[in-house]
Amino acid sequence: MEASIADCKRAGLDFFNCDNKRARSTQRHCCRIRFSNDVGFDDMASDFIIDEHNNARFDYSIRVSSKARYAKLQIKPYLGLEVVIPTRFPKKAVPELIRQHAGWIEKQLRKHQQQYVKPELPGDIFLAIDDSTTQISEFRSDDYDDNILSLRQWVRKRAWEILPPMLEGLSQTCELDYQKVSIRSQKTRWGSCSSRGTISLNDQLVFVPAATAEYLMIHELCHTRHMNHSRKFWALVESHCADFRYHESVLNRARAHIPEWFQYSMSR
| Domain assignments of the chain as residue spans, ordered by start | 2-9+27-117, 124-260
- For residue 231, give every residue at least 6 positions away whose Cβ sits within 8 Å of its Cβ, in sequence order, or none: none
Task: Report yes or no: 161 and 155 within 8 Å, Cβ to Cβ.
Answer: no
Supply the pTM of this predicted model: 0.66
CA distance 243 to 249: 10
Q: Which fold has domain 124-260?
A: Zincin-like (3.30.2010)
pLDDT tens for each residue of the chain, 268 residues long: 444 433 333 333 333 444 444 433 332 222 222 223 344 444 444 455 444 445 456 678 888 887 888 898 988 766 678 888 998 898 888 888 888 888 888 888 777 765 667 889 999 999 999 999 999 988 988 998 899 999 999 999 999 999 999 999 999 999 999 999 999 988 778 999 999 999 999 999 999 999 999 999 999 999 999 999 999 999 999 999 999 999 999 998 888 889 989 988 876 6
The arrangement of strands across the sheet holding 132-139 comes to 16-22, 132-139, 124-127
